[in-house]
Structure 1
């Protein structure tokens, strides 16, 4: 059935039916409900190209994500993306995932905005000073940041209180008798990494413990980076008795390094991982973890905020901060050395 046929069946003009289906505010709710019900009863769906031309909207949200062939990525983040996709399906919108550029981080955002392929962007892995957020703000492309930055002015974001979470982790390990506590994290330019360092330093100071520079290690945000960083920590003399990892991608690599080095997790080396690891990642361990929210819930919340941004809600009202809670597993225990 065409739009013309549907309009004829309803006894309305094609313009009225089109505006009702595309959410124009000048159409009454009663008329809109009648049109939507009739369209559903005959299985009518608007032509996406025609809808784009009629409304000027792409009915899609974009996200740029690093797709690396030799690394399986961050399962937690992929679950977040799955939650975003499910939420967009309910809004009859699509999620477009584009690989980032290894040479020019802004270029993918420029392509998406110049071609108007999306109505808004989700910016993940935010940096302390993030040119992507500033670019989108300058060209007036609606966006939601998955994480915060130091960019002035209000903008919509979803984030976790990593600083408070790492403080909890240090306090937990200190209570178990640990004194040499390392922090393994991602690149220092990322906002959540800076928050993790801040929380670690503050908690160690509160416990009267020194922060040893050799125990503050960063690596690429992937399993390889976590493996190399943990290998470095194991080579320290004396080596730490406990490690906090501020992201699950590095966490998986760090645990692999411990297993390969035949270091008993939970006894010889305690480890706490921010966001944890999926249960089937490494059998036999239930990792002590800092958990903020179910990944699908995070994804759904991001899209909820995005839809609010698109509807004109003030960005200062669209900011969500989750405080992590410590979930005890079997990957940490009393210090034995």
Structure 2
């Protein structure tokens, strides 16, 4: 069935039926409901090209990642994308993924937006002062940030509370008798990294523990970075008896460094990873971790927020902060004698 047939069946003009299906505000709610119900009953699906021409919309959401080799094989990232794709599929929309140079991501945003290939953007790995978000605000492009940033006006975002996650990890380790606790994190220009450090320092202060500056390490957000930073921590004298890692990607490399050094994880050195445990078991370890949500569910929620934003919901009503829970595994234990 085509649009002409559906219009004849309803006794309406093709223009009215098209506008009802595409959500134009001048069509009454009663008419819109009637048209949508008749279309569903008849199994009518609008021609996507015609719909895009009629509405001026691309029926696509974009996400641009400064992809490295580690991202392409990162199951966590792929599960988030899977959740986004599933939610968009239910809305008859597509997800467009583009990679970008880390030195000039905004240029990639400009190409995608000026080509009118997307209706909105999901922005991941937000920075404290994020030029990508400032660009989208300036251009008036709808966006949902996966993480928070310092913007003067309200914007839509979904974030996992890294400060609370790291705090709970430290409290757990303190309860196990640890006093030499380190924090291994990602690049300090990322918002979640700063939040993790804030939670770490706050929890250590509340426990009355001094923070050894050598135990605060940050760097590249990949497995190699996690491996190198953990190796650096192991050279400290005395070395830390426990390490909190503020992200899953570095956590994988950090665990590998401990294993390669012949250290028994959970006995010689305790490890807690924030933001979920690595999805693949590492030599039988059940990682102690803080977890806010499954990555698939994060992807779905990001798109729900985006669709609500495109539907006219104010941005300040689309701000979601998920608190993590501590999942006990076998990578942490009592402080060694």
Q: TM-score surpassing 0.5?
A: yes
Is residue 74–residue 248 contact of structure 1 (8 Å, CA) maintained in 2? no
1:296 deviation in Å? 2.2
Superposed CA deviations along residues 263-297 of structure 1, whole A, max 9, x for unmatched, are: 11111110000122245342412111111122222
Is residue 63–residue 123 contact of structure 1 (8 Å, CA) maintained in 2? yes
1:66 deviation in Å? 2.8
Task: Tell me the equivalent position of 2:317.
Answer: 317
Superposed CA deviations along residues 134-183 of structure 1, whole A, max 9, x for unmatched, are: 11011100111111111111111111221121111111111111111111
Q: Report 1:1-337 matches (<5 A).
A: 1-69=1-69, 72-337=72-337
Partners in 2 of 1:102 and 1:302 — Cα distance? Answer: 23
Superposed CA deviations along residues 222-252 of structure 1, whole A, max 9, x for unmatched, are: 1111111111111222211111111111111
Is residue 87–residue 303 contact of structure 2 (8 Å, CA) maintained in 1? yes
Is residue 186–residue 218 contact of structure 1 (8 Å, CA) maintained in 2? yes
Is residue 265–residue 271 contact of structure 1 (8 Å, CA) maintained in 2? yes
Is residue 226–residue 253 contact of structure 2 (8 Å, CA) maintained in 1? yes
Partners in 2 of 1:156 and 1:72 — Cα distance? Answer: 27
- Which segments of 5 or more consecutive residues in structure 1 lack a partner in the other structure? none
Partners in 2 of 1:270 and 1:258 — Cα distance? Answer: 10
Partners in 2 of 1:141 and 1:112 — Cα distance? Answer: 11
Partners in 2 of 1:257 and 1:16 — Cα distance? Answer: 65
Is residue 278–residue 287 contact of structure 2 (8 Å, CA) maintained in 1? no
Partners in 1 of 2:80 and 2:311 — Cα distance? Answer: 23
Q: What is the SS of the residue equivalent to 1:64?
A: strand
Q: What is the SS of the residue equivalent to 1:106?
A: helix
Which stretch shows the higher mean deviation, 137-146 or 200-209? Answer: 200-209
Which stretch shows the higher mean deviation, 3-12 or 245-254? Answer: 3-12
Is residue 146–residue 159 contact of structure 1 (8 Å, CA) maintained in 2? yes
Is residue 241–residue 270 contact of structure 1 (8 Å, CA) maintained in 2? yes
Q: What is the SS of the residue equivalent to 2:121?
A: strand
Partners in 2 of 1:43 and 1:219 — Cα distance? Answer: 54
Q: What is the SS of the residue equivalent to 1:293?
A: coil
- Which segments of 5 or more consecutive residues in structure 2 lack a partner in the other structure? none
Superposed CA deviations along residues 103-125 of structure 1, whole A, max 9, x for unmatched, are: 31101111122112111111110
Partners in 2 of 1:211 and 1:267 — Cα distance? Answer: 22
Is residue 128–residue 150 contact of structure 1 (8 Å, CA) maintained in 2? yes
Partners in 1 of 2:72 and 2:222 — Cα distance? Answer: 8
Is residue 74–residue 222 contact of structure 1 (8 Å, CA) maintained in 2? no
What is the RMSD of the two structures over their aligned residues, measured on CA atoms?
1.7
